Chains A and B, each alone.
Chain A
Amino acid sequence: MSPQPSRTLTARRLSLDSWAVLLAFLLAALVRIGLVKVVPW
């Protein structure tokens, strides 16, 4: 039986692009639900 891939290896399959999209969506969700209200510039 082949060994199960570790969690780390599974996470590593995501590309840089996918990580970037995930983070951007997480930030957008935080803004949408009101946890992040104002971002100063």
Chain B
Amino acid sequence: MVTPAGTTPDPFLDGPAQPGFLGRVAGYVPGLALLAGVGWLGKLLEQTINGYGKAHHLLLPNIEYVLWAILIGLVIGNLFTLPKVFEAGVGTYEFWLKVGIVLLGARFVLGDVLKLGGISLILVVVEIAGALSLMLWLGKVFGLKPKLASLLAVGTAVCGVSAIIAARGSIDSDDEDSAVAIAAILALGAFALVFFPLIGHALHMSDRAFGVWTGLAVDNTAEAIASGAIYSDTAGKISVLVKTARNAMIGFVVLGFAIYWSRRGLARKVEGKAAFLVEKFPKFVLGFLAISVLLSAHLFSKPQVAALGNLSKWAFLLTFAGVGLRTNFRKLFQQGLRPLVVGALGELLIAFLTLGLVIGANAVWGL
């Protein structure tokens, strides 16, 4: 059974079976220490290489700690089999991602959130409509099972693994379909980490435009933010905002698919649509907005904002280390070629579509 990254929906529920609260907490310590160690090593490598370049007057490429942390994680995760004792702690990387996003609300005054968030929402709606239509059409052309095509469409249109997990229960798809869809999304996310920054530099994109692009085009939230942060700090910050706007749409998209499949008698009936939307709405989006409101109400001083920004960076560092550690290429490619081809083709077209959207939005609104 393949258990690719992100399939651990809740590390607090699926931790090692140890009696007592302290026992359960202790189960997370080895993996957390590994996340921290990998992240810290990435930071150390960035500082050491930059320091060496400066001391010896060499023009060395400035590789961000984000990329180092992911690369070190990838090497460890793909060359060695991680002992089981690390699993629970490493699985918390999505938790740290959400903590980091909420804390990053302290770097945005509400006016910025509303302005860029408003523009993002327009782009997100166009992206979601385009991505859903495209993936469903490609799924038909390549003869994928309809529910697998639905999962791939939800994953590419909204927020990768989380969206697939949310949709899996709602459309009663089988475990194999969701594992295949998750694997395809993760494999493509790993490529985005490398190719998006390269394309951004080749096109001389501004930090803000690049952040909007990664937030719109990269599916998994961790990879979207990492791609932005590899480009620059500002791009990483903007990609968080745009990706958060995209994540906020998850309930509507999953509800649409749930109704579609239940009308065909292939999924349970959706009882109480409003409650469904509330249940699926990502709560960390509200947390992010609430912190931004507190900042706009001048509740935090400048040094406090800096402290919150740094706490957010530490949380993201744990996330990026986890992305590397949990991406296992051998397992990802075991899932069969057809879903991967559909996913890759779809991602490529969506990358072009969203690039066009960003260029257009830049011309109209000046991102």
B223 interfacial by beta-carbon distance below 8 Å: no
In the complex, are the beta carbons of A12 and B311 less than 8 A apart? no
In the complex, are the beta carbons of B303 and A25 less than 8 A apart? no
| Interface size range on A against B | 20 to 34
Residues of B within 8 A of A19 (CB): 12, 95
In the complex, are the beta carbons of B99 and A36 less than 8 A apart? no
In the complex, are the beta carbons of B313 and A41 less than 8 A apart? yes
B127 interfacial by beta-carbon distance below 8 Å: no
Residues of A within 8 A of B198 (CB): none
Number of interface residues of B (CB under 8 A): 32
In the complex, are the beta carbons of A24 and B102 less than 8 A apart? yes
A-side binding surface: helix, strand, loop or mixed? helix
In the complex, are the beta carbons of A16 and B314 less than 8 A apart? no
Partner of B103, one of A17, A24, A38: A24
| Contact string against B for A residues 1-39, beta-carbon threshold 8 Å, 1 for contact and 0 otherwise | 000000010001001111111011101100110001111
In the complex, are the beta carbons of A31 and B304 less than 8 A apart? yes
Q: List 24 A-B contacts (CB under 8 A).
A: A8-B21, A12-B12, A15-B283, A16-B9, A16-B98, A17-B282, A17-B287, A18-B283, A19-B12, A20-B95, A20-B98, A20-B102, A20-B283, A20-B284, A21-B102, A23-B99, A24-B284, A25-B287, A28-B106, A31-B307, A31-B311, A36-B307, A38-B303, A39-B306
Residues of A within 8 A of B95 (CB): 16, 19-20
- Whose C-beta in chain A lies nearest to the C-beta of B11? A16
Cα(A20)–Cα(B12), bound, Å: 11
Cα(A7)–Cα(B310), bound, Å: 34
In the complex, are the beta carbons of B311 and A15 less than 8 A apart? no
B94 interfacial by beta-carbon distance below 8 Å: yes
Task: Report A's interface with B, CB cutoff 8 A.
Answer: 8, 12, 15-21, 23-25, 27-28, 31-32, 36-41
B300 interfacial by beta-carbon distance below 8 Å: yes
- Whose C-beta in chain A lies nearest to the C-beta of B283? A17
B238 interfacial by beta-carbon distance below 8 Å: no
Residues of A within 8 A of B98 (CB): 16-17, 20-21, 24
Cα(A20)–Cα(B187), bound, Å: 26
Cα(A13)–Cα(B328), bound, Å: 31
Extra A-B contacts (9), CB below 8 Å, given A16-B10, A16-B98, A21-B102: A16-B95, A17-B284, A19-B95, A21-B283, A25-B291, A28-B300, A28-B308, A38-B307, A39-B306
Cα(A19)–Cα(B98), bound, Å: 9
B13 interfacial by beta-carbon distance below 8 Å: yes
In the complex, are the beta carbons of A31 and B300 less than 8 A apart? yes
B345 interfacial by beta-carbon distance below 8 Å: no
**B292-325 CB contacts (< 8 Å) to partner A:** 294, 299-300, 303-304, 306-308, 310-311, 313-314
B286 interfacial by beta-carbon distance below 8 Å: yes
Cα(A31)–Cα(B300), bound, Å: 9
Residues of A within 8 A of B99 (CB): 20, 23-24, 27
In the complex, are the beta carbons of B299 and A40 less than 8 A apart? no
Q: A34 CB to closest chain B CB, in angstroms? A: 9
In the complex, are the beta carbons of A20 and B307 less than 8 A apart? no
In the complex, the 3 A-B pairs of residues with the closest C-beta atoms, listed nearest first: A20-B98, A24-B102, A21-B287
Cα(A16)–Cα(B221), bound, Å: 15
Residues of B within 8 A of A39 (CB): 306-308, 310-311, 314
